[in-house]
Amino acid sequence: MPNHRRTDLAVRVDPIEMLQYVQTLMVARADTAAADGSDPLARGAPSDSPVTRAAQLRWTALNRAFGDARVDRWTSRRKDQIQLPVALIAAAGVAPLTMADEEVVFDIPALLDATLQFCEPVGNA
């Protein structure tokens, strides 16, 4: 594993910065797709800072996590779109990452525990 990858695994992304990163990607994807049909994610992140690399790594790991039934309960799917709660994206910035089969992944229970920390309480306790 390259040294920068090990460093990027350890970098946490502030939840607000993680949300801003994902929003920037989604806006860029919509703008670029509308203009020429290409995918901005293939071109890489908007800048090459350690936090941006970590955010990109975490976003990729979160996309892998969508295949897990435990995470799927937190999402809503429509045609070719997935809607996710802000808490899940925020948690992706701080939940621990690990390696599995040469891929960076989340420990799903740790990701969901972190997600719960960002959720608003519901009902009366």
Question: What confidence score (pLDDT) does residue 110 get?
Answer: 95
**Does residue 42 fall inside a structural domain?**
no
**Does residue 81 fall inside a structural domain?**
yes
**Does residue 44 fall inside a structural domain?**
no
Structure token pair of residue 84: 């996710």
In sequence order, which ranges of the chain are alpha helices (DSSP H)?
3-10, 15-36, 40-43, 50-65, 69-72, 86-92, 108-117
Residue 8, domain extent:
3-35+49-117
- Sign of torsion over alpha carbons 87, 94, 68, 53: positive
The residue whose two tokens read 């460093």 is 7
**Does residue 70 fall inside a structural domain?**
yes
Question: What confidence score (pLDDT) does residue 113 get?
Answer: 94
Question: What confidence score (pLDDT) does residue 28 get?
Answer: 82
**Does residue 124 fall inside a structural domain?**
no
**Does residue 71 fall inside a structural domain?**
yes
Structure token pair of residue 90: 């925020």
Q: Give, for all 125 residues of the chain, the pLDDT tens digit.
A: 555 566 778 899 999 999 999 999 888 876 665 455 444 444 444 567 888 889 999 999 999 998 899 998 888 888 777 788 899 999 999 999 999 888 999 999 999 999 999 987 776 65
Question: What confidence score (pLDDT) does residue 20 get?
Answer: 94
**Does residue 31 fall inside a structural domain?**
yes
**Does residue 88 fall inside a structural domain?**
yes
- As for how many domains the chain has, the answer is 1
Question: What confidence score (pLDDT) does residue 56 get?
Answer: 93
Q: How far is CA 94 from the centre of its chain?
A: 10
